Structure 1
């Protein structure tokens, strides 16, 4: 079979060359289409269940939402882990599936199960986007001196997000900062008392005066007129004129009992950039398995289309684009490939002492890689720096060197010319084809165990093994076909029998060493055994890292504030951190993400802040070593009280969190039923780990410590005045976050309409003095109906 392949290639030389040209063209096209990432996607199949329940404490979210959803999700087939976080107003559950599960099947199973969960009616669980842990490919901020921040946030949510989602490969856009626009009616308690009205009357009146009605149709000649009752609120003036009640024929309107304005709902997070404290940000997420180069090209094209359509004074300022890293990765790989090919060519010229032979062997390197690219493109296998950088040129050209050297030897010994060259080349090629093929196949068996790896190991190393195996297969096929054909063209005249001076110089010490080893065979055996022992000892003391360290060019800083700090009180510290980092000349921009985005995709509290530190090119660095730069930044932040910090990189931080479920490189997990005991033990473990040499950025998750104001309703006192518990809860809700009673439409946009009570004094004093309307008309202070 092998001899027939060689014979066919030599008999049909021009067909062979044409096939090589087709391979070259196909390889170039495949390389341009091949998804190339700087880092492999090592995360398991994951489905995030995000449930927003604004205004409710973490305990209530855990009891009414998280536990109920977990109970249903536990029964799904192929589920390996469930990880959940319950925060103020937010439940986030991550469902991890076994390796090999289909992403869309997993999402369908989760959707079916969450529909069966018994959760509050105003809490609607949703699935997180189908994005990988390395899917954050583009980040930008919105700026304007004239447009209010909530309007920028509305522009981001209703215009920019929709436009970027239309780009092929984009699965979602995460919006950060700004606050969600909300129409608000702020009711004055004193005016309610003056008109003898209750808060519930305001709720009901506003809700009843904001709706459209649909009827049938009436005939008008030959036409059918659809009947619509238009009653939706169109403006703030419409809200002010809503009638709450009528007293002695005089209507009492909303403007008589309060004020109408536009504000924002409860904010989960605040975003800042450089010297600006409050901005709006968009993060473009790439769908899992897409080509980042093609996606980013589409995003940038869409951005050019969007810019002319923005309102006057609004600008989009990108600060992170994955193509910078991808371009660097591709350039690194291509430089290594070119340098490696040139080095191999030079060495082959020195050892074979024939430039033509060296060029024949060297041409196998790019062609074998193009063959690998074609197959990878057809099979949908992505490439990354790890898989491409692991290609061994020595393995690729091993067979080609043997084939070329044997052909040269035959031609130089036989000194054939003309048509006899083809016959002699065929004889030389067939002579070594079988052992050469078996040798290459034996080398390939080394990578077979890697192909059986599962989960993280498989996603990390399997593409590398597949890439190398395909390149070796391509090199073998080209060695058996192309090299004999090229030899017939380049060696029409027999090559001279000239031994390389380098080989002649190396032969003398090698012959002396070989003779000594033959005379004393125990010496090489003992030396090999000693090297084996030394290698084992070195391996035991050598530092080990499962995931390779990739220099992404930027830094990611995570800062933890004391538990219980508010967004408003954390903002001055966040600004101070940004200012201290901007002092470094190596830094081009600093973006801070305090808390969580409004969609709940990143469940963090106000005590957590993440900083993207964009760095300039290394040529502009004053501190050339990156580790020393990180140490200098850490020293600059040491003086800030009550914070802990952890430096990482943007992609690496996401990968570490996806692998272990925690935000760090190395973690220890404690399990138990009591959170207070877990908190105490975690503190003890942190104390022990702090004494270990080399440990840096040490911290533990604080499970307890969030301060609460618990208002416990005195049922006996409420019953004495005929007041229901729900009336008390409605008043508390309206006094703190506001009660959502409807929606206001602005074209295709819609925003919540909330009613809230005005608080003139201190919030705590105002809550104590908050009055509840009794059926008898009395106004009972909350302090008499509940315990604080």
Structure 2
């Protein structure tokens, strides 16, 4: 049975199945989760280790090195990097892509558990896999002119956190900022000495008195009772009344030797929102959850809780990643709709039939719906890659439909033929072989992408699955549904194909040019050579990058003040920056942290960041313009503060791969002492390169320390030793939490410290009274001397070797050009110094890895196309000719990128891989027709006729594809820039492949056919 007869007999089944697939896809689209990035398991684990206040050099020897060696032995580890500062270390452990990360996490935890017992007492650690959801996706701020920071933090911690943690899709909620209440016992050293008590006695007395503990059980009257000793306190008054001593002289209470008051836990962290002290809530998303639905549920939960918020407290949202997702989705939706409308215009322009146009356009949403069903089955989500893939697929889907419709119209749209259902289905059946071959040519280039690893593989697998499933659905619908709908909806007996009325301007121009080239093939040499030369020159001058940049609608501005700057001084300097932000019309709101970073990571009091939300894109300039304007004004008006503005999403991606900055010059030396000077020279050299800014020499000194040297002889004469003095100072200065008590569903600490110690300055420190065992008080200066110790810089190590990373960002220059200038600067004599070597990391290293992988994919795609073409035509010469034209079309990609000023990045290279398939698909349409005509016509006439026959469908598909990709290429709307390089690459390739297939390929095949004869 012929295919056309089978299709006619089963038309109800075929049409019903197609409708069911489309409806299933529509249903899947409603339930498919929405996120920003594809869900990917990044093979990176972050380990944070805390020990208190050890010096960095001591920390490396006692803690960092043993931990490094332990995790380095975990199976699958490829790299270990550590950054050690005063009292803490952060290690990043990299595994190979494809590693089973839950198993790897177990291995890291097991290695640390075995190592911790051999480390100094008090070591704590945390292990975290780097995933997109390790960063907040929403954030709120609580501010009030009348309600204190303690009450606002309690509101956030004990009411809002439980409320929001119950929202579907929320992993956890973190509270940042505000104050935690406690009872402060400020002991008077003189009164303590008079009572022959010490701070330690006071701590022990409070600890023993304010207690609640189980002491056993008894049975009585057939009941079992729990015995509790309950001497717990409930507030300041109870603490004052704790008995220290009782005797003939009376009862001595805590209140007799100390001032007891309500206080707050000491902290070195400040949080502001729009210039007001704030408590912030950072919300983290569960892996695989729907970001948009979760954000809406959070807003709904807070709206329902609004009546329980105390008067005067304002809750405002200052960060919401879902708005970018919605903006990107809206931009892609608009691009698809605009593309469909433009493609419909092309169809109607050439065929002049509304029903044929409607028929063709119907296939597009049906193909997209079927692709969405595949995404749902594959466990993928709507994100910037899958949505971009759907938008990019529209032009390819239209291609399939157009060539089938045009072929049917060409065969059936003639008044003398008496078309009817039979001729329409016969035409569809006759075109099945070239349609299958051309669709396979486009699909086959996505096979090698399945073997990509790294960031490129993690991102573009989602895009390739989307495009491939859309094309597969398009092929099935075009082969099966389009002929049936055409036979049902279009009356070909009454409709006349406009192409039957003779050649138009395009046909006459093509015929004239083709005849000239067929007669004198040498005339083709000049334009082909010009194409190659222009492509090479464009390749030599086009900027390069890694990932396309998006306008995220906001950015982060990290800052760094002078080492050792106090929190109060840091906040004062930040108020100057806040004044700049208040005046900028593009700034909608902002939040500021001092002594911490967005996401909750702690830092020194001289470090912090701003998260700045901008007004809608329609009301401001491009985000790069706004960032540069604010950065320049801050640099000019707030000297001494180093800033690093960057968009958050790209920086998060860099953190997950360990390469947040574009430029990372990693210095190493046999003598670590040479690294600091080399780093400073390298940073100075980078500062002279135009377009390089936000330079960090990698030398991060901690603040200065006052070292107290206890004179052992003097201390021993008074019954003291250095350890006892240190314990006294610890309690006196920082305080000791002697006990906790329960109240209002929370635990409150009781902190004991020396009266006035918190406000001492460096000159008053020597007068701090130190109690002796004999009951006397002596000034600290009588038994100790003081010195200022400069803060040690952070120590960075990679694979057990000390290194320094000099990092920088690029502004207005491409990654390739910037790195070339960096290499020139580093080659200058005296920059590195003797024994110092460097390697380039950062986004540049990731770019090189990605480019190498995509080049392999490109070669594999060419080989796959070669095999497919050989299967179709069984002629090496013809296959080589087709591959040559496809390769020539890729040279236009560099020209298109150069003319539009868009960098060559991994998205553009993805477009280059796709253009190989699209160009080959276009060539198959022509060659299949020529192969058929060669059976009855001489070679020259066959190739000329085939080119003429395929002129209209190829022109239609090329124009429709370009128009459908045009909204993406123009980067219309916020968040649409991810697919812009891909769209430009495909458009440029199509513009060149069109004349290559219809003019150069016929000439080349004719020469090869004659040579074979």
Q: Deviations over 1:442-500 (max 9, x none)?
A: 22222223222111111232222111111111111111221122122113443323328
Provide the residue aligned with 2:150 in structure 1. 150
- Does 2:317 match 1:318? yes
How far the C-alpha of 1:682 sits from its partner, in A, is 1.6
Residues of 2 paired with 1:352 and 1:601: CA distance?
Answer: 61
- Does 2:352 match 1:329? no
- Residue range with higher mean Cα deviation, 221-230 or 776-785: 776-785
Q: Deviations over 1:72-127 (max 9, x none)?
A: 32222223343444445544333333323344334333333332213455443234
- Correspondence for 1:758 among 755, 759, 762: 755
How far the C-alpha of 1:48 sits from its partner, in A, is 3.3
Contact 1:556 1:649 in 2 (8 A): yes
Q: Do the aligned partners of residues 287 and 135 (structure 1) sit closer, same or farther apart at CA in structure 2, a change above 3 Å counting?
A: farther
Residues of 2 paired with 1:99 and 1:507: CA distance?
Answer: 53
Residues of 1 paired with 2:181 and 2:52: CA distance?
Answer: 15
Q: Deviations over 1:414-469 (max 9, x none)?
A: 9677xx94443332222221231122112222222322211111123222211111
Residues of 2 paired with 1:247 and 1:86: CA distance?
Answer: 54
Q: Deviations over 1:560-613 (max 9, x none)?
A: 211211111111111110111111122221211222169x94243222231122
Q: Do the aligned partners of residues 25 and 515 (structure 1) sit closer, same or farther apart at CA in structure 2, a change above 3 Å counting?
A: same
Contact 2:177 2:269 in 1 (8 A): yes
Query: Map of 1:74-473 to 2, 5 A cutoff?
Result: 74-88=72-86, 90-116=88-114, 117-118=116-117, 119-128=119-128, 131-132=131-132, 135-246=135-246, 248-276=248-276, 278-390=277-389, 391-412=392-413, 421-473=420-472
Q: Do the aligned partners of residues 509 and 524 (structure 1) sit closer, same or farther apart at CA in structure 2, a change above 3 Å counting?
A: same
Greater helix share, structure number: 2
- Give unmatched runs, 5+ long, in structure 1: none
Provide the residue aligned with 1:530 in structure 2. 530
How far the C-alpha of 1:370 sits from its partner, in A, is 1.1
Residues of 1 paired with 2:422 and 2:382: CA distance?
Answer: 41
How far the C-alpha of 1:772 sits from its partner, in A, is 3.4
How far the C-alpha of 1:264 sits from its partner, in A, is 2.9
Q: Do the aligned partners of residues 625 and 583 (structure 1) sit closer, same or farther apart at CA in structure 2, a change above 3 Å counting?
A: same
Residues of 2 paired with 1:41 and 1:701: CA distance?
Answer: 32
Helix, strand or coil at the partner of 1:239: helix
Helix, strand or coil at the partner of 2:136: strand
Query: Map of 1:350-749 to 2, 5 A cutoff?
Result: 350-390=349-389, 391-412=392-413, 421-494=420-493, 495-499=495-499, 504-596=504-596, 601-621=600-620, 624-637=621-634, 638-662=636-660, 664-672=661-669, 677-704=674-701, 706-749=703-746
Contact 1:407 1:429 in 2 (8 A): yes
Residues of 1 paired with 2:324 and 2:291: CA distance?
Answer: 11
Q: Deviations over 1:614-635 (max 9, x none)?
A: 21123433xx354443333233
Residues of 1 paired with 2:502 and 2:762: CA distance?
Answer: 89
Contact 1:352 1:500 in 2 (8 A): no
Helix, strand or coil at the partner of 1:722: coil
What TM-score results when the alignment is normalised by the length of structure 1?
0.91
Q: Deviations over 1:140-168 (max 9, x none)?
A: 10123333212322332333223322222
Provide the residue aligned with 1:18 in structure 2. 16
Q: Deviations over 1:319-352 (max 9, x none)?
A: 2222221111111000000011111111122223
How far the C-alpha of 1:681 sits from its partner, in A, is 1.6
What TM-score results when the alignment is normalised by the length of structure 2?
0.72
Residues of 2 paired with 1:497 and 1:126: CA distance?
Answer: 72
Aligned length: 779
Q: Deviations over 1:235-281 (max 9, x none)?
A: 222222222334645332221221223333342421112231x2111
Residues of 1 paired with 2:504 and 2:743: CA distance?
Answer: 86
- Residue range with higher mean Cα deviation, 41-50 or 638-647: 41-50
Helix, strand or coil at the partner of 1:288: coil
Superposition RMSD in Å: 2.9
Residues of 2 paired with 1:214 and 1:553: CA distance?
Answer: 57
Helix, strand or coil at the partner of 1:710: strand
- Give unmatched runs, 5+ long, in structure 2: 787-1013
Residues of 2 paired with 1:502 and 1:750: CA distance?
Answer: 90
How far the C-alpha of 1:10 sits from its partner, in A, is 3.2
How far the C-alpha of 1:552 sits from its partner, in A, is 0.7
- Residue range with higher mean Cα deviation, 576-585 or 319-328: 319-328
Residues of 1 paired with 2:500 and 2:543: CA distance?
Answer: 42
Contact 1:130 1:288 in 2 (8 A): no
Q: Deviations over 1:281-332 (max 9, x none)?
A: 1111112333211221222222223333334433311122222211111110
Residues of 2 paired with 1:529 and 1:369: CA distance?
Answer: 40
- Correspondence for 2:34 among 33, 36, 44: 36
Residues of 2 paired with 1:87 and 1:178: CA distance?
Answer: 26
Residues of 2 paired with 1:261 and 1:88: CA distance?
Answer: 33
Q: Do the aligned partners of residues 74 and 293 (structure 1) sit closer, same or farther apart at CA in structure 2, a change above 3 Å counting?
A: same
Contact 2:415 2:496 in 1 (8 A): no
How far the C-alpha of 1:676 sits from its partner, in A, is 5.2
Contact 2:421 2:488 in 1 (8 A): no
Contact 2:71 2:108 in 1 (8 A): yes
Residues of 2 paired with 1:396 and 1:456: CA distance?
Answer: 28
Helix, strand or coil at the partner of 2:125: strand
Q: Do the aligned partners of residues 190 and 89 (structure 1) sit closer, same or farther apart at CA in structure 2, a change above 3 Å counting?
A: farther
Residues of 2 paired with 1:673 and 1:148: CA distance?
Answer: 54
Contact 1:213 1:229 in 2 (8 A): yes
- Residue range with higher mean Cα deviation, 495-504 or 201-210: 495-504
Helix, strand or coil at the partner of 1:179: coil
Residues of 2 paired with 1:636 and 1:203: CA distance?
Answer: 52
